[in-house]
Amino acid sequence: GTNALFRVEAYYKKFDRRIEGRLETDEELEARLSQYDFPEELQDSIPTDRIITIFPTNDGRGKAYGLDFFLSLRDPSARLTGWLSYTLGKAEQNSYNLIYPYDYDRRHALNRVGRYRLTDRFDIALTGRLASGFPYTPAIGLRVSAVEDDRGLLIPETDNAGNYIYTTDLGGVENLNTGRLPFYARFDIRATYRPGGLTGRWSIYGEVINAFNRDNSVSIE
């Protein structure tokens, strides 16, 4: 009909020659490890995996693809108006001989915006968002932090009492973006009153943001 729209879109995008930091060479890895002066019992705290350097290459590749469904009811005089969308997508990169999700990969995303007119003077609106969590790199454990001494070597870091200071161990590149943030959910509700009805010039509204008081994670540290 003239007041309704339903649309389905498919997309596919390839990425190549992306800028990324290259991994350490054998010589760089050996030079870095030679800087550690850790006792025998702390050898497990030395990060022996190759790290990503600041030196850029154009070796990054990837792809993004998915489906997007969209439905809208656009008649402003109807009791029910609004729109609904759902996206099923995947975005993955190929780097360091590994395939893993991009930081913005979100498998499912549902958005709903609607208004229902109860009377000519009063209506209620709802905005809802549901989505999969973004990828992140989880810690796989703890290791003793390192600090540079007067010799230019890396030794175990301690506090004023001589206790070891620990830091998170994020592992090697094979651990990149292997975790997912929790599911995202948010609902906003608005009630609107128009003293002059549909043709009136004024409206008074009250709104509840995040009506269910859900804690949504943006990042994990």
d(CA 192, CA 197): 11
**What's the pLDDT at 76?**
77
Q: pTM for this one?
A: 0.80
d(CA 187, CA 211): 6
Tens of each residue's pLDDT in the chain, 221 residues: 778 999 999 999 999 999 999 999 999 999 999 999 999 999 999 999 999 999 999 999 999 999 999 999 988 778 899 999 999 999 999 999 999 999 999 999 999 999 999 998 999 999 999 999 999 999 999 999 999 999 989 999 999 999 999 999 999 999 999 999 999 999 999 999 999 888 889 999 999 999 999 999 888 87
**What's the pLDDT at 203?**
93
Report the run of H or E that residue 29 belongs to, with start and end.
helix 26-33
d(CA 119, CA 125): 13
Residues in contact with 18: Cβ distance below 8 Å, sequence separation at least 6, in sequence order: 58, 59, 60, 61, 62, 93, 95
**What's the pLDDT at 124?**
96
Beta bridge partners of 141: 169
CB 173 within 8 A of CB 75: no
Q: Which two tokens stand for residue 88?
A: 């099923």
**What's the pLDDT at 2?**
78
